[in-house]
Amino acid sequence: MTRLVVTAAVVERDGCVLLTRRLKGTHLEGYWEFPGGKCEPGEALHSCLKRELREELAIDSVVGDELLTTTHAYPDRTVTIHFFAVTLLGEPAPQIGQQMQWVRREDLATLKLPPADDELVALLQAPSREERHGHLPNR
């Protein structure tokens, strides 16, 4: 079975996260996903994510903390995904014909996302510590 190491960007802006749609003819075609991609052998995780964002969205970025690592077994491959908080340096522009959209956290469950993203979606939709304790910040 094929084993892949993948990095993905969690980019937030104005209460929304950035998603792109997998192209026709690819594994999980039509699914929405957090932008990123496969690491080359020996490639550092941060370098992989920066490269993928440049290739797919023509954007430079600052890769921050790792938010979650998860492994998911599909019938034909096992994927380990490293999700990182990312700040974009400019406006993303899709380069390979993929759709792109900004989605509110609470709307993530309405989209078709890969099963490997389920744990991250749950994390992103979990109430913040302040919300759990009834201390909502003034907005």
Whether domain 2-125 has CATH 3.90.79.10: the reply is: yes
Read off φ and ψ for residue 45, nearest 5 degrees: -60, -50
Tell me the pLDDT tens digit for each residue of 64-104. Answer: 999 999 999 999 999 999 999 999 999 999 999 999 999 99
Domain ranges of the chain: 2-125
Confidence (pTM): 0.88
Strand, coil or helix: 115? helix
According to the model, what pLDDT value does residue 129 have? 52
Ranges under pLDDT 50 in the chain? 130-139
**DSSP sequence for 32-53:** EE-SEEEPPTT--HHHHHHHHH
Q: What is the pLDDT of residue 126?
A: 86
- Give the model's pLDDT for residue 91: 96
**Helices marked H in the chain:** 45-57, 118-125, 129-132
- pLDDT computed for residue 133 by the predictor: 46
